[in-house]
Structure 1
């Protein structure tokens, strides 16, 4: 596994496949070292007497304890976040629960030419045939995270209006917290000046982990340590997030992690292909409704936005809660310096009162951080993602097919994900209908003959028709098939799962229970120069 699979922000944070002196691990791995280091000024040789060395295993938690690197020992560090370990755990006697992200579903749907709903039902059947107890949907936990994020933004916005004091002023802008690559980069490289601006709300991965390990286990009649919880994510950085010390708790003197393992979309594809089954023709299984966004008709639902819809959801909520403005229709995000940096503004009586931004990719991220540091950021909320194009383009997603550009793949994923409108669907259905195609061909030929009987123009018409048919069948038809079972766009506050969890467990948004289980904190990581220079 190369470090290139991690997000650009993490790669920029000293992630290399070698250990240079400036990157050497600061964790003491061998406490029995008998090395005697004499003063350098005497220029004497260091004499070392060591017992035979054993293979060292560095955990991901150890790696996150410093601002060093993910080294060439990645395969060792990630051994408990692997497909092999997942298969082993299924047979260990623990109750295995899998939570699947919508971005991963979309990637698999695009690869197999299926809808998200079909993919989810087939994945459920596959996992359960292997012994998995339940398969859930992180769209449900994303709705919980969005509700908490809306409540947090309103509180911080109101706080910012109370005083111009610098300390109070750090309440805005709010920087989203769902991207672990961005969080790791902020903690290791940017430090304490940026961390107060980051939302304290956990990512959907960790929210569903908290819901399962702290609450749902009781409904299942289990102990938290009896459950092995696996998530399927579009991003390798999620493996790092899962092992953060903040997401570990103790039960009966046993350490329990909210998420025990993370598989990327690509790893799940490897699992499917290793089973030597035709995934497209596999039988489908009913979905587990306990933590899955599926309505009574069997249709999936969730927010729009390939990276979680944080900016859009909070913008709409803030417009209504703060300015009594109900926004109908899609938001008008304006592209600024590139397609990965967009902004949307709410004006009241000709005056801008809310200004939000989407900031994807490391280059845009650096520009925003610079403005925040200088106190010149004009936005109240910024949806930050380390990967260009956001989560749909995560490093753990299935790679483009041969001859397919990354840009084409992203466009395909956006269509499969459900970002196309119903009007788009009707138009595409019309274009790809066989009777329309044959009539369209005939019309072109008749026009060319009636206007000019030129042999050249006639042939051009035939070529144009064939080209149109080819393009339509290759690009539009798969999209049409996927849009038939498009995920319905919904309001997180209307989610019955979220309402039930608040009633039974969390009480209300922003409550003590909500803050305890759905919020976290961040820690600046200080480089240890002394430890890094020891081996010079």
Structure 2
């Protein structure tokens, strides 16, 4: 994790963007200005909104930020998220949401999109009949693992598969993940029309959460979206750029002018015609930490009661255990409430690989059995393949860091890329190493494990350590995957997600309604001198 100034300095999305280690610097040095005296997407703006009685402030917390803060405070991740939620609510935040819930939706949409693209590829080739769903012997990579076909077959919310609804226009393979804004902006500015069709149209978890908060949760609560201030806490400063995209807004013209909406007396015609950001503010992990430090509560975590996440779907009611103060009770509180799949950068490669194996080839990979990932030419390239009857039918990869991204782009341009899907992230080591995360030297070494006596007793909170970046990332991975508030189940088994598709989307992942609401588009952007120099 290299240093970053902490102040976003961008004029628009045509400004230069690099991975979070050196991100978001404008050629002209202009800051993204707000309409008031405070810098846009800042702690000052966030605090000001909290004191505005007209505004309903809601916060979304990313799991990467939680494990990073749990490390510095020597808390269990489950205990950390419960106490931070309580602090936020005690200072006027109306609701706190878990971005893992939105990530489940992003994963489902991404898997549906990949399966449609792959089926188009099979239909075009017409020489491969391996998509007939019949029982076949299967091996992964060179490990020759045979899978029990008795449990194979599509899982679904209803009798209908959740992965139906073909895209109207065939899109090419490899499909490239779209959750990283640094990578997406680089692709738009550097490669333009050539690469954009390869990028998944599924929204990122942050974008999904913003859409649902402004278009579903707010309306369900009878609050006009213009009066909801959505702040997302993320591991990456580049997420501020994502929030600023015009694609992630909700125009008032698309909303029902219902009497249940509180329009307010000062929402004039000019304002009501303007698009509303679905995510108003992104705070990096370090920025939330600075605010928490300003409250002078870091030595008094034991006195702070636990508070639970809010229901992500406005029709739901989750039980609250806010009176519980013990770490053990808090773990029970979160059991089954938040779902996740392995992967510190979202688990896109793993989830889509398993889903494609099941839906396309009738192969159910045992969930408790890790995929035998093969490391590529460096630590930030990982590959996984599915072999059926001696033929490789799926070839997936994860490519982190711009060195590997540039190599991937070259292979695609010369038609030498053999991958079907690539999880692309701008930061080396992925999102746990985002530029907005806590840095080595400020994180307590034992705290990242989150399962020791010191964590419970409050000893050694915030004690600096001398661990390397790699050691810190390894420890955060352990904490992330042993996170008690996450129940590692597949997204389609998340009851909140199931209810949302049934009651609001009224369709399945990949359906026309879900594509309208949960997908986005990309644009060729002007390449500035700064980005040209960076490429050179």
Report TM bin, short chain: 0.7 to 0.9
Counterpart of 1:213? 214
Distance 1:282 1:188, change over 3 A: farther
Q: Higher helix fraction: Structure 1 or Structure 2? A: 1
1:190 corresponds to 2:191: yes
Distance 1:241 1:3 in 2: 21
Per the TM alignment, residue 361 of structure 1 is displaced from its structure 2 partner at its CA by 0.8
Counterpart of 1:232? 233
1:274 corresponds to 2:274: no
Further displaced range: 362-371 or 295-304: 295-304
Per the TM alignment, residue 5 of structure 1 is displaced from its structure 2 partner at its CA by 6.1
Counterpart of 2:69? 108
Which residue of the other structure, out of 35, 48, 70, is the alignment partner of 1:88? 48
Counterpart of 1:342? 382
| Aligned ranges 1:418-497 → 2 under 5 Å | 418=481, 485=484, 487-497=486-496
1:416 corresponds to 2:376: no
Per the TM alignment, residue 81 of structure 1 is displaced from its structure 2 partner at its CA by 0.8
Contact 2:400–2:428 (8 Å) recurs in 1: yes
Counterpart of 1:356? 396
Larger radius of gyration: 1
Distance 1:381 1:5, change over 3 A: farther
Contact 1:59–1:77 (8 Å) recurs in 2: no
Counterpart of 2:22? none
Distance 1:264 1:523 in 2: 26
Which residue of the other structure, out of 343, 363, 371, is the alignment partner of 1:325? 363
Distance 2:382 2:364 in 1: 21
Contact 1:118–1:284 (8 Å) recurs in 2: no
Per the TM alignment, residue 3 of structure 1 is displaced from its structure 2 partner at its CA by 8.7
| Aligned ranges 1:2-81 → 2 under 5 Å | 4=4, 60=10, 62-65=11-14, 70-71=26-27, 73=29, 77=33, 79-81=39-41
Distance 2:528 2:400 in 1: 31
Distance 1:233 1:117, change over 3 A: same
Per the TM alignment, residue 137 of structure 1 is displaced from its structure 2 partner at its CA by 0.4
1:178 corresponds to 2:134: no
Distance 1:311 1:513 in 2: 25
Per the TM alignment, residue 74 of structure 1 is displaced from its structure 2 partner at its CA by 5.5
SS at structure 2 position matched to 1:306? coil
Per the TM alignment, residue 503 of structure 1 is displaced from its structure 2 partner at its CA by 1.1
Distance 1:517 1:3 in 2: 36
Counterpart of 2:87? 126
Which residue of the other structure, out of 297, 304, 312, is the alignment partner of 1:291? 312
Distance 1:415 1:504, change over 3 A: same
Distance 1:173 1:282, change over 3 A: farther
SS at structure 2 position matched to 1:131? coil
SS at structure 1 position matched to 2:396? strand
Deviations 1:85-139 (A, max 9, x none): 1001111220000000000001011111212111111111111111000010000
Contact 1:229–1:260 (8 Å) recurs in 2: yes
SS at structure 1 position matched to 2:40? helix
Contact 1:272–1:279 (8 Å) recurs in 2: no
| Unpaired stretches in structure 2, ≥5 consecutive residues | 18-24, 127-168, 253-271, 320-330, 442-464
Per the TM alignment, residue 73 of structure 1 is displaced from its structure 2 partner at its CA by 3.5
Distance 2:200 2:300 in 1: 39
Deviations 1:302-350 (A, max 9, x none): 1110000000000000000011111111111111111110100111122
Which residue of the other structure, out of 405, 409, 420, is the alignment partner of 2:468? 405
| Unpaired stretches in structure 1, ≥5 consecutive residues | 7-16, 18-57, 421-482
Distance 1:512 1:169, change over 3 A: closer
Contact 2:334–2:485 (8 Å) recurs in 1: no
Contact 2:237–2:284 (8 Å) recurs in 1: yes
Contact 1:122–1:279 (8 Å) recurs in 2: no
1:312 corresponds to 2:272: no
Distance 2:523 2:371 in 1: 34
Distance 2:187 2:528 in 1: 17
Runs of 4+ residues deviating >3 angstroms: 2-6, 65-69, 71-78, 292-297, 526-529
Counterpart of 1:33? none
Contact 2:70–2:80 (8 Å) recurs in 1: yes
RMSD: 2.7
Distance 1:302 1:370, change over 3 A: same
Per the TM alignment, residue 191 of structure 1 is displaced from its structure 2 partner at its CA by 1.1
Distance 1:211 1:296, change over 3 A: farther
Distance 2:527 2:466 in 1: 44
Distance 2:73 2:31 in 1: 29
Counterpart of 1:469? none
Counterpart of 1:457? none
Distance 2:44 2:439 in 1: 21
Counterpart of 1:515? 515
Distance 1:385 1:228 in 2: 28
Per the TM alignment, residue 279 of structure 1 is displaced from its structure 2 partner at its CA by 5.3
Per the TM alignment, residue 4 of structure 1 is displaced from its structure 2 partner at its CA by 4.4
Distance 1:120 1:77 in 2: 31
SS at structure 2 position matched to 1:177? coil
Per the TM alignment, residue 296 of structure 1 is displaced from its structure 2 partner at its CA by 7.5
Distance 1:97 1:237 in 2: 20
Counterpart of 2:446? none
> How many pairs does the alignment contain?
413
Distance 1:279 1:305 in 2: 32
Deviations 1:479-530 (A, max 9, x none): xxxx6x363211001011111110111122112221111100000113489x
Per the TM alignment, residue 75 of structure 1 is displaced from its structure 2 partner at its CA by 5.0
